[in-house]
Structure 1
Amino acid sequence: MKIRYILIAFTIALLSILVGLQLLKAETLPQINKVEQNLYIRETEEDSNPPIKEFNIATKVLDWDFGKGTMEQVWTYNGTVPGEEIRVTEGDTVKVNLHNTLPEPVTIHWHGMVLPNTMDGVAGLTQNAVKPGEMFTYEFIANKAGTYWYHSHQDSANQVDKGLYGAFVIEKKEISYDQDFVLMLDEWSLPIDINTFLTNDDQEVNYDQLEDTPLLGTTLDISPSFGDSDTEMLYNAFTVNGKLFPDIQPILVNQGETVRLRIINSGYMKHWLDFGKQSYKIVAADASDIQNPILTTNILEIAPSERIDIEFEAENKGLWYLQSADLDFASSDMRVPIIIDGSNHAAPQKIDYKKDILRPTEYKTMDPLFLKDDIPTFEYEMILNADVKWGEGLQFTINEKAFPETIPLKVNEGDLVKVKMINESIYDHPMHLHGHPFQVISKNGNPLEQALIKDVINILPGEEYEIMFRADNPGHWMFHCHDLLHAEGGMKTTVKYNDYTVPYLLN
């Protein structure tokens, strides 16, 4: 453990610089007059044309009740945290009218969706940011069923942190489950007294007994939890759908039902979720279905910006909790009561930290994008690191450069692109590619036997991944770390198609 303590001390020193640079939720915001909007405003269907579903989204500043008597000023889409859920059916035409009433420009990025480049919502790359008092309409076809989310991509490290995000669900035309719930996870810095937040139900973790668990590894290894140490220092509360336990809305189901939970990590830290003795199966990840999923009770890991769909059978009447297994005092905030046919009060179940952790490379196979013998036409290597630059503080770099100095990936339409990402820093980096799903083909030099299709892959310190994607969606696209504090610190680049011209003038 000595190595871990030394690295933690080093991280604290570095992060003293980072904390001073970040302007997060505590920033004082001007009050904006309330703008009344209806989220869903029309649906039409004409002969062979797909249905059109149109939504109004207004950005607003308000004081949000997180529960436990804790209020904080936030930025919202339509007055809630998360923003109001948008749910459509596969094949629908979607129109979203964004009306900005905030004092700063904003956008909406449709995270994980494969859209025309001009609808991707990245300020300065695919559109101009929507200025205060202005409107912008996004229009696209909901081509692929799955779980997505939307968030601002203008000053996103701050704006997402203040609450500008929401769930976007595309349902299949035929479904196999009885009930369907979205759980959005996040971290916050709230004005709380830790002593008033601890309850008799909170579990005391004996860290000495965790020495040889999957959560901490062994004394010879760096803990898989350590890569979040920089971000963890900034937050003191965890939420589900904008609320702290015990104010999180319970999930009410009936015995015998098949229940789908769409879990979205909208924060900047990875989280571990414990299902107790309830068995579940992962049926989709990043909007790609998993073939023949198997039942498990393992602890589920979900990295920043990932979406994981799980299903379980509500077999027994009673109450159990889906709860955080994070090694953090704030984990007691992140508990979701699952109530089957009504229930009396029950304390959260004790977490078995000896259980294995279920990570993406351990999922069952998905429909592959490529054959194993497909040869890439373009290859790129990305060395991910973190450096202290004199006068500028902590920078997060790709190939020793911080954005906008990073070198773009130049591709031609039709190229098969292979990217090797090597994490040489002491931090996690959930790398996210816009506009293209990718197939993970190897981890630490070992080819994957199963097809793993993602749009974000979390790379732990010392890890190496190879991915491939087809350059079949012309435009200029972001490729960045989705710990948005790392992206803000420089860990982002672009994929640029040769001969593509932006169809309007960017400010």
Structure 2
Amino acid sequence: MRRNRQGGGRVRLAVACAATTAVLGPLVWLWQDSLLPEAYSVMDMGYADVGGGPPVAAAEHAAHSGGGASGHGRQEAAGRDVTELIADADLPADVAVTMVARKQRFTLPSGRAFEGYTLNGRSPGPVIKATKGQLVQVRLINESVPGGITLHWHGVDVPNAVDGVAGVTQDAVGVGKEFTYRFVADQAGTFWYHSHQMSHAQVRGGLLGALVVAPAPGKSAAEEDVTDVVALVHLYNGVRTVNGREGDVPVEAPPGARVRVRVINTEYGVMPAWVSGAPYRLAAVDGTEVNGPAPVQDKAVGVAAGGRTDIEVTMPEDGSPVRVHLGGPAGVVLGSKSYDAPAVSRPAATLDLLTYGTRAPLAFDPGKPDRRFAYDIGRRPGFLDGVPGLWWTVNGHLYPDVPMFHVSEGDVVRMRIVNNSGEAHPMHLHGHHAVVLSRDGVPATGSPWWVDSLEVGVEESYEIAFVAGNPGIWMDHCHNLPHASEGLTAHLMYEGVTTPFTVGGPDENEPE
């Protein structure tokens, strides 16, 4: 009997061990498989997606290297290094700025002290102003920001070498080092700049500023006679500011004057903006002019995270003030005799950019794309670099096993973005502007709606299109920056383009 009991105990122990192995074995494998190396190239991550088009050189190399988590491998064929994709080195700078970055305690224009980061001793950093066609040169010096810093030119389709993404287009600029950015401002509009090294912490901490590109000379007298106002909205420790100032920003505007308020949303969620005291026109979205903008009353406009909206107002002839609300009661107050414009609640209706403005032809045919891509956003439990959690997915895959979208220069690209993740995501493709074709299957019928930052709501789907006309390796990620750091990131990669930079490594490159 004793021998039988001992034998039965061994069997039960063996069964328990087998069951434990059956349960823990796959978890251990998944954990091990999720671990990232100390340094890796984004070219080595995920899998090649050619969008139904012909294979490109990097994708062919991936096929020979066996695919999988290191599917691309380094492309050995002759091509262009991202460091070669620069502005003409012989062009002199028309606008030259030096930015000194520091980690320090500083005082906002409102008088509130804040522990964070500054550019030239302030946050937001200085407004950079240029005219279309001018070459902008910015010398970035890191005096005391630990972990390094970069500057990304959000919404500006710069050459890839100066896109400012640590580990992809450059190394992070460490303490005591510097980096110079040079690009031609070839699109007039409202843009901004911010760090793309640990951006979820550094942007929130103050490493950001506005960039405004004015139209080239030759405007009509009516176009010249417009008051220009920058309104950069940012939260410092939960305190909403406009240009670093709490409360209203007063701006002098005489009766009958036209005023363009350049709204920049640097936060993580969509921000409503609306006007009381006069009708307004939505003049531009993400740096692109709206065709045939009609007057708007009693409607808010949603500004995506990272997005920009230019609101144009004609001041009342009786001299009464006008308030531009920016996500709440505070905002920009335009006036001459008085700035006593009471706050008005957000309108119930929101302007639909799918139908706003007048249709205009596109310079390409999105109905005949060379490549079609899917960017399906989801969420599931798993491991991200060994950490268990509920993580974002792209096309069902956890980072880094996400698609690398391959294109050839000149391709017409069509992409369908679907959000089944349970949270909204402002999607930002670097280096390109895309036109919105439809939302939830409903075609766009208004002005061409060009975006670089698109709010994709819960259970929404968008069809967008663009021409692959800016060679490089470009991030395509959620601009709710903590989401990007949690795996909601993919890349667009051009045929024959390679990068020598790695995420991690001695320069501690951490783009998100």
Task: Quote how far apart the aligned CAs of 1:67 are.
Answer: 6.7
Secondary structure at 1:449 match in 2 = coil
Tell me which of 162, 169, 193 is aligned to 1:119: 162
* Counterpart residue type for residue 149 of structure 2: V
Task: Quote how far apart the aligned CAs of 1:371 are.
Answer: 4.8
Tell me which of 431, 436, 460 is aligned to 2:432: 436
* Counterpart residue type for residue 389 of structure 2: G
TM (normalized to structure 1)? 0.75
Tell me which of 413, 417, 429 is aligned to 1:417: 413
Tell me which of 235, 239, 242 is aligned to 1:240: 242
2:302 and 2:321 mapped to 1: Cα distance?
23
Aligned residue number for residue 445 of structure 2: 449
Secondary structure at 1:361 match in 2 = coil
Is contact 2:93-2:137 (8 Å) kept?
Answer: no
Task: Quote how far apart the aligned CAs of 1:346 are.
Answer: 3.1
**Given the alignment of the two structures, is residue 463 of structure 1 paired with residue 460 of structure 2, yes or no?**
yes
Is contact 1:50-1:91 (8 Å) kept?
Answer: no
Aligned residue number for residue 178 of structure 1: 226
Is contact 1:422-1:464 (8 Å) kept?
Answer: yes
**Given the alignment of the two structures, is residue 306 of structure 1 paired with residue 324 of structure 2, yes or no?**
no
Go from structure 1 to structure 2 and tell me whether the alpha carbon gap of 1:83 and 1:373 turns closer, same or farther (over 3 Å shift): closer
Go from structure 1 to structure 2 and tell me whether the alpha carbon gap of 1:347 and 1:261 turns closer, same or farther (over 3 Å shift): closer
Is contact 1:368-1:452 (8 Å) kept?
Answer: no
1:50 and 1:281 mapped to 2: Cα distance?
37
Task: Quote how far apart the aligned CAs of 1:486 are.
Answer: 0.9
Aligned residue number for residue 283 of structure 2: 283
RMSD between aligned residues? 2.3
**Given the alignment of the two structures, is residue 376 of structure 1 paired with residue 369 of structure 2, yes or no?**
yes
2:107 and 2:359 mapped to 1: Cα distance?
40
2:332 and 2:295 mapped to 1: Cα distance?
20
1:503 and 1:405 mapped to 2: Cα distance?
20
Is contact 2:167-2:501 (8 Å) kept?
Answer: no
Unaligned 5+ runs, structure 2: 1-89, 506-512
1:126-176 Cα offsets, whole Å, 9 max, x none, are 111111110101111111111111111111111111011111111112451
Alignment of 1:49-64 (within 5 A): 52-64=94-106
Go from structure 1 to structure 2 and tell me whether the alpha carbon gap of 1:69 and 1:470 turns closer, same or farther (over 3 Å shift): closer
Secondary structure at 2:397 match in 1 = coil
Is contact 2:132-2:214 (8 Å) kept?
Answer: yes
Is contact 2:131-2:216 (8 Å) kept?
Answer: yes
Alignment of 1:66-465 (within 5 A): 66=108, 70-101=112-143, 102-174=145-217, 175=219, 176=223, 177-189=225-237, 236-245=238-247, 248-297=248-297, 298-315=299-316, 316-324=318-326, 326=327, 331-332=328-329, 334-339=330-335, 341-343=336-338, 346=340, 348-351=342-345, 353-354=347-348, 356-365=349-358, 368-371=361-364, 374-389=367-382, 391-450=387-446, 451-465=448-462
Task: Quote how far apart the aligned CAs of 1:116 are.
Answer: 1.2
Task: Quote how far apart the aligned CAs of 1:418 are.
Answer: 1.1
Secondary structure at 1:110 match in 2 = strand
2:331 and 2:351 mapped to 1: Cα distance?
19
Task: Quote how far apart the aligned CAs of 1:61 are.
Answer: 2.6
Structure number, greater radius of gyration: 2
Go from structure 1 to structure 2 and tell me whether the alpha carbon gap of 1:464 and 1:95 turns closer, same or farther (over 3 Å shift): same
Is contact 2:269-2:426 (8 Å) kept?
Answer: no
Go from structure 1 to structure 2 and tell me whether the alpha carbon gap of 1:445 and 1:505 turns closer, same or farther (over 3 Å shift): closer
Is contact 1:320-1:348 (8 Å) kept?
Answer: no
1:446 and 1:403 mapped to 2: Cα distance?
31
Aligned residue number for residue 5 of structure 1: none
Go from structure 1 to structure 2 and tell me whether the alpha carbon gap of 1:415 and 1:254 turns closer, same or farther (over 3 Å shift): same
Is contact 1:276-1:350 (8 Å) kept?
Answer: yes
1:435 and 1:377 mapped to 2: Cα distance?
19
Go from structure 1 to structure 2 and tell me whether the alpha carbon gap of 1:181 and 1:373 turns closer, same or farther (over 3 Å shift): closer
Go from structure 1 to structure 2 and tell me whether the alpha carbon gap of 1:389 and 1:281 turns closer, same or farther (over 3 Å shift): same
Is contact 1:368-1:453 (8 Å) kept?
Answer: no
1:443 and 1:431 mapped to 2: Cα distance?
14
Go from structure 1 to structure 2 and tell me whether the alpha carbon gap of 1:389 and 1:237 turns closer, same or farther (over 3 Å shift): farther
Secondary structure at 2:183 match in 1 = strand
1:166 and 1:366 mapped to 2: Cα distance?
33
Is contact 2:321-2:341 (8 Å) kept?
Answer: no
TM (normalized to structure 2)? 0.74
Secondary structure at 1:162 match in 2 = coil
Is contact 1:276-1:351 (8 Å) kept?
Answer: no
Go from structure 1 to structure 2 and tell me whether the alpha carbon gap of 1:347 and 1:296 turns closer, same or farther (over 3 Å shift): closer
Go from structure 1 to structure 2 and tell me whether the alpha carbon gap of 1:371 and 1:415 turns closer, same or farther (over 3 Å shift): closer
What number of residue pairs does the alignment pair up? 403
2:449 and 2:323 mapped to 1: Cα distance?
29
1:92 and 1:436 mapped to 2: Cα distance?
19
Tell me which of 489, 495, 498 is aligned to 2:492: 495
Moved more, 415-424 or 362-371: 362-371
1:291 and 1:83 mapped to 2: Cα distance?
32
Go from structure 1 to structure 2 and tell me whether the alpha carbon gap of 1:49 and 1:410 turns closer, same or farther (over 3 Å shift): closer
Is contact 1:64-1:72 (8 Å) kept?
Answer: yes
Alignment of 1:24-35 (within 5 A): none
Go from structure 1 to structure 2 and tell me whether the alpha carbon gap of 1:107 and 1:69 turns closer, same or farther (over 3 Å shift): closer
Task: Quote how far apart the aligned CAs of 1:470 are.
Answer: 1.1
